[in-house]
Each structure stands twice: as C-alpha cells, then as structure tokens.
Amino acid sequence: MNVTHLECAACGLRHEARRLQNLCGECGKPLLVRYDLKRAAETLKKESLCERVSSLWRYREVLPVEREENVVSLGEGWTPLLRAARLGGQLGMGDLFIKDESLNPTQSFKARGMTAAVSMAKELGARKLAVPSAGNAAGALAAYAARAGLEAHIFMPKDTPRANVVECEQTGAHVTLMDGLITDCGAEVGRRKEAEGWFDVSTLKEPYRVEGKKTMGYELAEQFDWTLPDVILYPTGGGTGLIGMWKAFDEMEEMGWIDGKRPRMVTVQASGCAPIVRAFEEGKRFADEFPNAATTASGLRVPRAIGDFLILDALRASKGTAVAVTDEELIAATREIGAAEGLFVAPEGAACLPALRKLLDAGEVKRDERVVIFNTGAGVKYLESYS
C-alpha cells in the first residue's frame, strides 16, 4: 500500500518489499518495513479513525498488505484499555491502566502479529507456514493459516500448556512436540524448511509480525487521546510487541500525531529466563543465551531473542529499564490482579505487577505517573501453572 522497502534493523541494507523474505541477506538480522508516511497521512487521519473498523486494520495505511482480498482477519486488535482503580489504590497510584490483550482472537496478543504475517504470506504466494512456539504464537498461526487456507506446521516444547496444543490440533495444524526449548524448535524449523517448502514465520525472522504488534502503540495513543503514558511495563520473551510499539511511536511522530515525548519502556522477564535483564544490567547491546531457561510463564521462556539489540536500544533510548521476577511472585500476582480487577491474566502479564512494585519501591516509578501494564494473554490457557 504505502510500503517503500524493507530495511535491515542492524546494517540498514535496503531489501525488496514485494517478495518473501526472512532475515537480512548481508548480516542475518531482522528486517523492518518502511513506509511513505507522508503519503499515508494523506488518508490516515486521527479525526476519521472513529468511523473505521474496530480492529487493528483501522490503521490500514501503515500496514503492509496491498490488496484488500488478502487481509486475513478474525477481528483482532482494538482491545480494552482498563483503568485499574482498585489495584492502583492498593499501590497508592491514581493512574494505573491494564491493556488487556486476552480479548484478541486466540486469546492473546499473538493474533496481532499473525494477522499481518499470514496476510502477507498469502499475498506473496506462500502456501506452507512454519513456526516454533512456546504456546500462543502457535495457536494464532494455526487459526490464521486455517482462515487463509494455508498449511501450518508448528513445533512446540513438550511442556507447552496443553490448551495451546489442543487449540492447534483443532484448527488443523500439523503439530510436533519436541524435547527442549523454543530455540530447539526453531533449529528444527531451520533444518527442514527448505526441503519442506515452508516459509518461516518465527519471531522477527520475517518482517510482518512486528507490523501487527506495533498497532498496540497506535491504539494506546488513540485511547489516551494522542498522549502517551509515562511508563509501559511489557512482559518480554521475543520482544516483538515492545519493538513494534517503539516503531509505532516514531511513525506517529513523523505523521504529526504525537510529539517527541516517549514512555519509559520496561522489559519484564522471569528470573529463570532473563537474558534481556542480564544484558541490560551488564551494559551490553546483545544478550547472551540464558542457560537452563525455566519458568512457568511459557511465553517468557525464550533464552535468546534475535531482536535483543532492538529491545535493549528501546529501553535505553527511553530511559527505561529491565526487571526480573520469580515464578512465585508472578503466580501470586495473577490472583491479586484477578481479585482486584476481575481479570484472569496470563502469567506473563501478571509478572508486570511485582515488577512495578520493585520499581515503585526503588523510586524508579513515581506513584503519580501514568503507567500501563500489558496483559498479553488469557490465564485460562495456563491452567497447569495454577494446579
């Protein structure tokens, strides 16, 4: 539509947009979609958004699909931004919000990325898609591939929550359960994809999942009447959502929708798998693989993220930080959030509450600041975590 090219996030090399691509052909780092934002702004106007569809496709001019018939949608996006008055009161805060991504199709924010990735795969001629996943991305790919009439080949660790496995099986995907972690599943996809004719839609190994995820940033700005919060706490595995929102803020500023003020971005990880936290604390731009990764929050069990440098760049540019919490803390927080606000959040989203407490106690977040916690999925998909 308004796409000009793909650009390597590391070396800046320009790539052709209208063909299937994975990583940069020069350095092997993620590719990002670039737009003619001046042209996009001619028809994408803040004042007309209220007349548009209540899904992420309301921001059509800054999404990559050219032909309307290739949009594969289940009604994703435009999720609630809820004031957490009771929870905020317990913390002494008057301006705490929860962005509840559990109301997306397939009950997680992963639907955002997959609507864009599968739509582009369809438009560019892919027929078989493959992904390694710790759970929710698998369910989202299975659903959107089925909607598009494409094959989905999914590789998950054997200890993936059962709900995710059943979800994939019941939406027609080819499911393989493996010993090991998501990195082992990713290696299996890498070994077999050429021979099998699969297009790899792994996190940040194709350019379009981040485009769907960035709409969380557009929605936040719109829901706050074109101001951004002071602080965003985001549970981070592969980090596509955080990277996407940071990209969205730059795009909106270029179109004149917001000013240059940015939220402080906070990565939240589990102490049993905290590669970004460790790299942030050590002042590194790239994160080493986290050894013996283990956490009940399966979406946080990502020992090495290919977009590590993009996450760390955003944290530092925003004067944000990275915080790790224990499994015991995040499981207790699930009940606390549920009892206060009536939301049965995913363990990943729950992890943001103890992280916020640590930041409040350290004085890194002020109690009068506007803070947004992201709940990335539905707790009902993680019943094993609460047995």
pLDDT tens for 323-381 read: 999 999 999 999 999 999 999 999 999 999 999 999 999 999 999 999 999 999 999 99
Task: Give me the residue spans of the domains in the chain.
Answer: 81-108+211-386
pLDDT for res 134 = 85
Alpha-carbon dihedral sign for residues 264, 229, 117, 48: negative
Residues 265 and 302: their CA atoms lie apart, in Å, by: 19
pLDDT for res 255 = 97
* Strand duo 31-35 + 3-8: pairing: antiparallel
User: Which helix (DSSP H) or strand (DSSP E) does residue 199 occupy?
Assistant: strand 199-200
CATH number of this structure's domain 81-108+211-386: 3.40.50.1100
Residues 37 and 173: their CA atoms lie apart, in Å, by: 37
Q: Please, which residues bridge with residue 34 across strands?
A: 5
> Is residue 142 over pLDDT 90?
yes
pLDDT for res 62 = 98
Mean pLDDT of the chain: 97
pLDDT for res 170 = 97
